[in-house]
Chain A
Amino acid sequence: MTDETTHAVAFTPEDLPTAKSFFLPHRIVMMLVFAAFVVAVAVFMRWDWLPRYLPRLGWGILVSLIMLFSTAILGFLLAVPIGLVQVTGPWFLKLPAKVFCTVIRGTPLLLQLWLLYYGLGSLFPQFPAIRQSFLWPYLREAWPYGVAALTISFAAYEGEVMRGAFAGVPPGELEAAKAYGMGRWTMFRRIWLPRAIHRALPTLNGETVLQLKSTPLVATVTVVDVYAVISKVRQETFLTYEPLLLLALIYMCLTGILVIAFRTFENRIPTRGA
C-alpha cells in the first residue's frame, strides 16, 4: 500500500484540526447544531444500561489496546527483517518474504483469523505431543490466535513499507558509513535502520491506526474486546443503535488519542531544513 492510500483509509496527524479553526462563524453554528443533536441522542435514546456495563467496557477497551500494541510491536519486529531481506537478502530469503507479503496482503484478515482459529485450533488437539506440552493451556484460549493473525497481518503490510524505506535511504549515507569503517551491523544499527524508520514513520503511524481498526475482528473468535462487550450489550438489552453509536464514539476517541500521540512524537524528532 502506498503512502497516500494509507492516508486515505486511516485518520492521520495532518487531519487534526487546529484550535483556531474552531472559531470560524459557520463552524460555531454547525457545532451548535451538532451539540443539539448530541443532547437529543442523550435524552431520547436509552442509556440506562450504561452504568451497569461500564466496568466491562473499561476492560474491553484495555483488551483492545493490549491487542493493538502487542501486535503492532511484534509485527514491527517481524517487519524489519522481512523488509530488509527483500532489499539486500539472497534469493532464498527474498522469495519467501515476497510470497509472505503477497499472500497475506492478498487475503482478508478475517479469513486468516478463522483459518488460524478454526483450522489450526481443530488440528492441534489431534497431536498428543501438543496436548501434553506446556503451550497447551494457551493454545486452548482464543487470544493467541487473535494475536498471531493480527501480528502476521501487520508484519506483512509493514514489511512492504519497510522494504520501500530501506531501499529509499540514500546510498551515499551508507557509503559514508562504510568509509568511516563501520561494520555491517554497526552501519545497520546506526544509519540504515534509524533512517529507514524515520522515512517510514508517517506510514507506520497510519498503519497503526489501521491496525486499531482491525482489532474488533478478534471478537469473532470470542476474544472479549470492547467490540465483544458491545455485542453482549446488544444481545442483552435488545438495543440496536445506542451501543453501536457508543462503540463508534469509543473508537473515534481511541483513534484521536493515538493520532495526537503520534504527532507529538513526530514533532520531537529533529529534521533539518524541514
Chain B
Amino acid sequence: MAADSLVNWGLLSLSAPGWGGVLLQGFFNSIQIAVGGFTLGLALGIGGAFGKLYGGPVLRDLLECYTTVVRAVPELVLILLLYYAGTDLLNQVLALFAIGPVDISGLMAGIFVIGVVQGAYSTEVLRGAIKAVPAGQIEAARAYGMSPAKVLRRITLPAMLPYAIPGLSNLWLIATKDTALLAVVGFSELTLVTRQAAGTTKAYLLFFLAAGALYLALTLVSNVFIGMLERHARRGFAVNR
C-alpha cells in the first residue's frame, strides 16, 4: 500500500501491474452473457407465451412445468444443473454422430444457462402482456382475413409491447445481475475476476467497490434507455398511470 495515500489507486490502472483492464474485460464478458442470455430468453419467452396461451393441453402443461421449476428452484442450482447437464448432453449427442467431445466455451454455456432461466421468466411476463391486449383488436385482425402469423407480427406483438416493457426491463436488470452467479461455475465474468484481483492484491474493498460501481453504472445506464423506450412504446396512451 502506498505510504502517502490510504488507497492505492494504481491497482485499478488499465495496464499490466494494475487490474483495471482485467476488470473491464470481465465486465465486457458479463455484458455479452447478459445480452445473449436475455435475447435467447426473449425468443424462448415468445414461444413459451404463445404455447401457453394458444397451445394444446399437453404443450401447455409442459410449459407450466418448465416455468414452475425455474421459478421454484434457486438460479444458482439451475445454473449448476444446466451447466453440467447441458455440456454433458451436447457431448453425448455429438458422440452419437461419432464426433469427438468438444470444449464448450464458457461464453456459450453461460448464455445458454442464463437464457433458459430468463426464458421461463419472460414466458410469464409476455403471457401477461399478451392477455392485456384487448381481444377486439385481435378479432378485428382475424376478421380482415389475416393469417395467425400475420396477426402475431402485425397486431399482437406490437400491441403487447407497452404492457411487456416494464416487466422485460426488470428481467434485463435481473439478467445482468444473474451473470454474477456464473462465477460459481468458474466463468471469468466481472465478479470472479474481481475476487481473483482482490485475492491477489489483498485490496478487497477497493476491487469489490469498483466492481459494484461498474454493475451500478450498467443498471443506471440501462434505466435511462428503458425510460426512453417506455415513453416511446406508450406514446398515444392516456397520461395517467
Contacts and interface: CB of A to CB of B under 8 A. Distances in A.
Contacts of A121: 204
- Most A-side CB within 10 Å, residue of B80, B183, B194: B80
A5 B171 CA distance: 8
Contacts, number: 148
Contacts of B85: 241
B71 A10 contact: yes
Which range contains the number of A residues in contact with the other chain? 35 or more
B183 to A, nearest CB: 7
23 contacts: A2-B166, A4-B166, A5-B170, A8-B128, A9-B171, A9-B174, A11-B71, A102-B219, A102-B220, A105-B173, A108-B180, A111-B180, A111-B191, A111-B212, A114-B195, A115-B204, A115-B205, A119-B208, A119-B209, A122-B205, A213-B74, A248-B69, A248-B81
Provide the main secondary structure of the chain B interface.
helix
A255 B84 CA distance: 24
A2 B128 CA distance: 13
Interface of A: 1-2, 4-5, 7-11, 15, 24, 26-27, 30, 102-103, 105-112, 114-115, 118-123, 209, 212-217, 220, 227, 240-241, 244-245, 247-248, 251-252, 255-256
Contacts of B181: 108, 110
A8 B208 contact: no
B72 A11 contact: yes
Given A9-B174, A10-B71, A217 B198 contact: no
Contacts of B191: 108, 110-111, 114
B83 to A, nearest CB: 10
Contacts of B72: 11, 209, 251-252, 255-256
Contacts of A15: 68, 71
